[in-house]
Amino acid sequence: MSDIKSEILGDAVRNVIIIGSGPTGYTAALYTARANLKPLLIAGSADKKTARIKGGQLMATSDIENFPGAIETGVDLDNWAYLDEAGQAAAIQDVKGLSGPHLMTKMELQARHFGTEMLEEFVTEVDICADPGGVYTVRTESGREFKTLSLIVASGAAAKTMGIEAEDKFFGQGGGVSTCATCDGHSYRGKTVAVVGGGDSAMEEASYLANLGIKVHLIHRRDEWRASKIMVERVKKNPSIEIHTFRAIVDLKGKPHPLAATSAFFKDKEVLAGAILENTQTKEREELALDGVFVAIGHTPNSGLFKDQLKMDEAGYLERDGHMRAIPSVNACNRKMHGMEHVPGVFVAGDVSDHTYRQAITAAGMGCMAAIEAERYIAEKLADAMGIDGNALDMSMESVAQSHWSSERDQMGEKPMIERVVEAASV
């Protein structure tokens, strides 16, 4: 057996390691597991505030309303067709989005059901330079070392926070502080919130929340805006948005949780009641009554592991080509990758490479694309090692993707690509 064949079919070198356990990582794991690539997903562990927690940014999200299909309703949907009009209307009315942790746990179980191996640790080092296109090395915080033929970087991004002490206390899951209006905004319908920031994100979040019928106080530390003029104008014209310039939130105030009187669990818990604003010029302070604070002061992509190896933009977002392949940095690995247009076998997906859409559903979609690309990459390596003509086997991207269309793919004769290669070799 050639080295590469024993690596792909054996266990010493992994076929694929996925870094990150948000929607991107779990979707990539689901797809690569169903392709029999036996993925290892290195999930992170616990750091709620920076969303480096296993499960990613959605772990700090209450109800998710915009992930298609991620809903609950009291009605047995298998009997949907038998419900009368009133029953269907009641079921539609009853629809509730899953909480972030609920959806992420479901994604984890689904990925593991199909054979994903999980490791709850942080990756501390990735060595792409030693053998580009060959075997990559991944090291974790406990000192473990893994070798892999391909890598899916799904390490996400962390929302920046204001850095005030009280922020932690109210962060996530209905506490009152959020970094995602599209995730949590709907819980504040009819209430009053602040949005912090002066960039496009803050303008977008303020407009989004105001359009949900929420009174918004936009808090910005200067009176000049980073946001585009058109977005600032839109905010200025919105009667539900009140702008406070030269203001910073320096403290947050709480009140007893609404369930504190009736539930032992919530007895000592607080929810947000307001914020102390400081005038950044005069240092005068005032209190503002609020139900929520949305911090929209930018994101930091979790791409530090790839400094001097992979190409990233000024803000640190990793760049990729149309096939989700990572691009080497200009002087990658002391120019070892000079002239290479992409790094073979290294795929980049989700928020670590996306500062525009940043939605769970777009992240999941990219995870799927990266996984299918990784499957083809590994299958091509195996075919090469076994002396198989890829054209004869139809290893086109379309063919690989097609084999994922049906959940009954074995019955349909559409096998995972690496099985098709091994079968072709034994004919």
Query: Residue numbers of the site for ligand NAP (CB under 6 A)?
Result: 162-163, 196-202, 204, 221-222, 226, 248, 297-298, 355
Dist CA 316 CA 115 (whole Å): 32
CB of 20 to ligand NAP, least distance (A): 20
**Nearer to ligand NAP among residue 55 and residue 197 (C-beta):** 197
Amino acid at 6: S
**Nearest residue to ligand NAP, using CB?**
199
Dist CA 283 CA 379 (whole Å): 63
CB 111, CB 103: distance < 8 Å: no
CB of 231 to ligand NAP, least distance (A): 7
CB of 182 to ligand NAP, least distance (A): 11
CB 130, CB 123: distance < 8 Å: no
CB of 212 to ligand NAP, least distance (A): 17
- Supply 388's token pair: 């198989």
Closest CA to 155 of 343, 301, 361: 301
Amino acid at 125: E
**Nearer to ligand NAP among residue 148 and residue 207 (C-beta):** 207
**Nearer to ligand NAP among residue 295 and residue 382 (C-beta):** 295
CB of 78 to ligand NAP, least distance (A): 40
Give the residue numbers annotated as catalytic, written as ranges: 180, 183-184
**Nearer to ligand NAP among residue 217 and residue 376 (C-beta):** 217
Dist CA 368 CA 404 (whole Å): 10
Q: How many CA atoms lie within 13 A of 351 on its CB side?
A: 24
Strand segments, DSSP code E, in 36-98 are: 40-42, 71-72, 96-97
Amino acid at 313: D
**Nearer to ligand NAP among residue 298 and residue 344 (C-beta):** 298
CB 17, CB 135: distance < 8 Å: no
**Taking every pair of C-alpha atoms in the chain, what is the biggest distance, in angstroms?**
81
What is the DSSP pairing of strand 40-42 with strand 285-289? Answer: unpaired
The DSSP string of 199-261 is: SHHHHHHHHHHHHTT-EEEEE-SSSS-SS-HHHHHHHHH-TTEEEE-SEEEEEEEEEE-TTTT
CB of 236 to ligand NAP, least distance (A): 15
**Nearer to ligand NAP among residue 135 and residue 277 (C-beta):** 277
CB of 396 to ligand NAP, least distance (A): 36
Q: Is 156 helix (H, G, I), strand (E, B) or coil?
A: coil
**Nearer to ligand NAP among residue 133 and residue 316 (C-beta):** 316
